[in-house]
Structure formats: C-alpha cells, structure tokens
Amino acid sequence: FEIFNLDLKAGDSLKIKGKISEDTNGFIVNLGHSSSDLALHFNPRFNESVIVCNSKCSKAWQQEHRDSHLSFSKGSTIKLVIEFLADKFQVKLPDGHEVEFPNRHCYDKITYMSVKGGFRVTSFKL
C-alpha cells in the first residue's frame, strides 16, 4: 500500500484502520517525501513487544525511539490516528496511549505514505 501524492499538512490528522494478520512479527507505516526520506517510520514489533519509531534522511536511518507500550495484538482490527504537528508526530493507539516522535526534518507537508508488513488497510481518512 503506497501513496505518492498525499497532501498531509502540519495540523492535519491521518486515520488508518486495518486488520493485523495473525502470523506477523509486525508492520510499518511510513510518512515522508519518499521511501528514502521519511519523517516518520512507525514500526510495531510483536516479537520484541515494542514500537520502534525512526526517520530516514537520504536513505540513512537516524536515531531510533522505542516505546514499550504495545497495546494491540496479532489478529486484531485497530485504528491509528497520526497527528502531524509542526514540531512532532503524535500517534494515538487504540487504547488512547500516544507515541510522540519529533519532526526531525521540519517538514511542513507530507507527500508519501506506505504501509507494509502484516497490516491490511481497510480504510484511511485525511
């Protein structure tokens, strides 16, 4: 699932609903300008019971941020709300917990989004 002409501006929210497959180790939601320039790499990993967030600049990964609040499980249907603010991203998890990650590239617009791994998107709304 990839979108190349997304028009997400600072102050906007992105709602993503979907089903996590039963047999996955995790999934990824990427937001940025391209697959090699990512402002937010959101990566829940079930095998480590952690959510890893990161950013990528010219294909180079930056400093990882780990949050051990993994509040959903394999096989569940979830909704994630990603708020894009001028200085950070706030990802609201299904139980209300928020994972914050800085807008390291100071982007004011996101044009690229991809969802990979064991997550089937059923709807998304800007």
> pLDDT-based confidence at 11, cuts 50/70/90?
very high
How many residues comprise the chain?
126
- Cα–Cα distance list, 45 to 3, 50, 57 (Å): 23, 5, 22
**Given this model, what pLDDT does residue 60 score?**
97
d(CA 77, CA 94): 10
Distance, in Å, from the CA atom of 51 to the CA atom of 71, rounded to the nearest integer, reads 10
Model pTM greater than 0.75? Answer: yes
Tens digit of each residue's pLDDT (9 = 90 or more) over 17-37: 999 999 999 999 999 999 999
CA gap 87, 9 in Å, rounded: 12
Q: What CATH number did the domain enclosing 121 receive?
A: 2.60.120.200
Which tens digits make up the pLDDT trace of 66-123?
Answer: 999 999 999 999 999 999 999 999 999 999 999 999 999 999 999 999 999 999 999 9
Q: How confident is the model at residue 5 (pLDDT cuts 50, 70, 90)?
A: very high
In the numeric block, the tokens 């990993």 are attached to 45
pLDDT (0 to 100) of residue 55: 98
Q: How far is CA 11 from CA 73, 88, 110, in A?
A: 29, 10, 11
Provide the number of structural domains found in the chain.
1
Q: Give every CB contact of residue 48 below 8 A, 6+ residues apart in sequence.
A: none
The pLDDT score that the predictor gives to residue 35 is 95
**What radius of gyration, in Å, describes the C-alpha atoms of the chain?**
13
Q: Can you give the pLDDT at residue 65?
A: 97
Domain of residue 99: give its range. Answer: 2-125
